[in-house]
């Protein structure tokens, strides 16, 4: 009984391995984000490791994370600078609009429109690093591809922004989810990102 229970191919051991991978990949991501300018390469690496590890059955997601992280530094660092500038600008703008709505200076309808645009922007930004993880490209081409793909798939882009906004809120509000939620968010994001990428991927990969 115990022999079958601790068999690496048993359901229990597979589940424990996946839980361990979720925690460690999230911790790797958090560690690589500390320099700030490496948030992009870290996020690309997390997405790649989670997608290949959990959805494609890669047996070595940890190794894949570090390989992807190193390979995406050149393009990922300038992409991170743009990402943070746009994100911080959007957050600052939403705070100002929220305060104006609270004090009656603008209507809540205008606030809702601004929130919609902010969610769209977040979805676009959250698409950038999965694209970086899947294609070898320069910074300018990455930005162009991100915006074109995002606007060609607006519903998925909005859902992508919503999922990541909820995950970010939970991590900020309760702190402890940051030790596992980043990997979960990357995996959930793949449900929206991969259908966008499918027409542009080699046929052997899409069939895998």
> Do 41 and 72 meet the contact criterion of CB atoms below 8 Å apart?
yes
Domain count of the chain? Answer: 1
Task: Note the pLDDT tens digit of each residue in 134-167.
Answer: 998 899 999 999 999 999 999 999 999 999 999 9
Owning domain of residue 26: 2-206
- Positions in the chain whose pLDDT score sits under 50: 1-2, 204, 207-208
Measured between alpha carbons, how far is 146 from 140 in angstroms, rounded to an integer? 10
Q: What does the buried/exposed string (b/e) look like for 68-105 if buried means 16 or more CB atoms within 10 Å of the residue's CB?
A: bbebbbebbbbbbebbeeebeebeeebeebeeebeeee
Of 51, 1, 44, residue with least CA distance to 21: 51
pLDDT at 64: 95
**Number of neighbouring beta carbons within 10 Å of residue 154:** 12
Structure tokens given for 123? 């979805």
Of 147, 189, 150, residue with least CA distance to 167: 189
């Amino acid at each position: 009984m115990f022999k079958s229970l601790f068999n690496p191919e048993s359901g229990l051991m597979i589940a424990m391995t996946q839980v361990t991978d979720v925690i460690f990949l999230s911790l790797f991501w958090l560690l690589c984000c500390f320099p700030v300018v490496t948030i992009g390469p870290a996020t690309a690496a997390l997405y790649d490791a989670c997608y290949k590890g959990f959805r494609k059955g890669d047996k070595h997601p940890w190794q894949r994370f570090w390989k992807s992280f190193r390979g995406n530094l050149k393009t990922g660092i300038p992409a991170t600078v743009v990402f943070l500038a746009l994100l911080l600008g959007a957050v600052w703008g939403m705070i100002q609009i929220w305060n104006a709505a609270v004090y009656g200076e603008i209507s809540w309808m205008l606030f809702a429109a601004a929130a919609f645009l902010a969610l769209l922007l977040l979805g676009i930004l959250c698409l950038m690093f999965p694209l970086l993880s899947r294609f070898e490209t320069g910074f300018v081409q990455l930005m162009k591809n991100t915006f074109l793909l995002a606007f060609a798939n607006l519903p998925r882009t909005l859902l992508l922004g919503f999922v990541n906004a909820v995950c970010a809120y939970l991590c900020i509000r309760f702190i402890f989810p940051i030790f596992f939620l980043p990997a979960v968010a990357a995996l959930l994001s793949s449900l929206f990102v991969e259908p966008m990428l499918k027409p542009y991927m080699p046929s052997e990969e899409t069939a895998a």
